[in-house]
Structure 1
Amino acid sequence: MAVHRGPAGGLAVRAEAMRANAAHYADVFSKGRSAYAIPEGALTNPRKLADLGAFFWWTSWVTSTNRPGDTVSYTQNWPHEPLVGNQPASDVLLWSLASVLLLIAGVGISVAFWNLVGAGLFGFLINPPIALYYMQGLNLTPLHGHTALFGVYGMLGIALMLFSFRMMQPEAKWRPRPLAWAFWSINVGLMAMSVMSLLPIGVLQTKAAIEQGTWWARSAEFLQTPLMDMLRWLRVPGDVLFAVGAVLLAWFLVGLKTGWSLERTEVVQPQAEPERLGAAAPAHAILRRR
């Protein structure tokens, strides 16, 4: 609720709020807070503590203060926080519809699985303005980052690397089994960590951000509940499988140099040319016969 005061009164209230804010965060970072996992003495430099308090103050101010003559804040009412009146602006609905149309177009031109799922599905899941308003900075963001960046460009980079190694030894015969195991381990591991951990955590965080606010979705109290702890541990199998695939790929590449990734070929000894007789025989052969 806005409180109308004269210029002098408003400045005094704001100055007092800034001092209280700076004192609070100076106490938190110098004395520590176990609930925030901040140890005692994390920051003790008075100058840096003052800068930190100013940073928190002004970032909060721009997210909760309306632009002059407008009904939205300087950050387009983000993050979502009903306590300060931050609700989605009406124009984000229009851009959300446009994003859905772009999603259909993106899916239509996708040519590979991770391009379709990572860049297409998970990418457009978070990019419509109405979705990004609630999801930004939550686990759905790294879900898109992991699957799109590595799933598309990472796989492309590995393919180009293997193509280059193949052209460097065109006569060599590779053993494809380690590459096959690496391929499936990397892809299945990436899918497992995404579906079993990142996706459900991100969905639950988004639900919490819509119902309570972004502060609650990213708080230690929410993220350390038994359900969230279990979902984080469910990422381990996928991570391990992904790491096994990466080790197998590295083992194969080293083997191209040492030889264990190449098929052994038997060296065929050239047979001696049979001695030619008659008119076609060399003169020295004819002389030996005589």
Structure 2
Amino acid sequence: MNPLIHLIGLPTDQNSSFERGAVLAPAAIRAALWSDRGNLSAQSGLEIGTDVMLQDLGDLQLSDVDCVADDALIKQAVVQAFGNSAIPLLLGGDHAVTYPVVAALAQHHGPLNILHFDAHPDIYENFEGNPRSHASPFARILEAGHAKRIVQVGIRTLNRHCREQAHRYNVEILPMLDFRPEHVPVLDGPLYISIDIDGIDPSEAPGVAHPEPGGLTVREVLSILSRQRAHIVGADIVELNPARDINDITAIVAAKLLREVAALIHANYEHSKKERP
């Protein structure tokens, strides 16, 4: 039986720093996904709607002002996906949404292995006095014991505090200096994939609030993803800021990654049965 994927939008950027705008991302990614500009096939040849069972549930009705209430709604949506034997694929929103998603998944599957693409490690103890900042979700995940292994790819903004946090929590960071895709390990399941769009170089994905030169190419991201074989229990794509996009190119990149992650969930499902709890 093929896995059912629940596509769920999380329109919130209440925990963004410096500049908001990611609240508009789910709609922009959907517009690019369903546009006649392209088609619904992944590079493997698998197609959304033909091979890959993807059910678009629309956006959650988040308040975008009450983080506690919104976290509860996000967790509820993930739990409902379990009840429908579905795998959640979330569209942020800022990166703070990853924490409630992973918390709900870990309650069901146990601690996860996480493959995290980003320019920033997002492991601040708190940022600007906000422990739920989009710069802090992985600190919250780690302190709660929801992850057994985190591998971070594309990092190029590692300051002293984040180095200390990475050492404290044994985070595996693969910085961009001397980076090669084959350096990224193939992780065991249960696997969660989190893609912050600013992990990609701004020459290919300019529509982000915190652009950082010297990043990953889309091809490098796809190469890393294609090597993963474990059962994927969930994924997110976050931090697109449509207000900063140019000719929708970043939304198109996000939609491409959505297709590829959905196809990977499908392809890995049967292959990884033995790894499932």
Q: TM-score band (shorter)?
A: under 0.3
Q: Which has the larger radius of gyration?
A: 1
Point out the structure with the larger helix share. 1
Point out the structure with the larger strand share. 2
What's the TM-score, normalizing by structure 1? Answer: 0.22
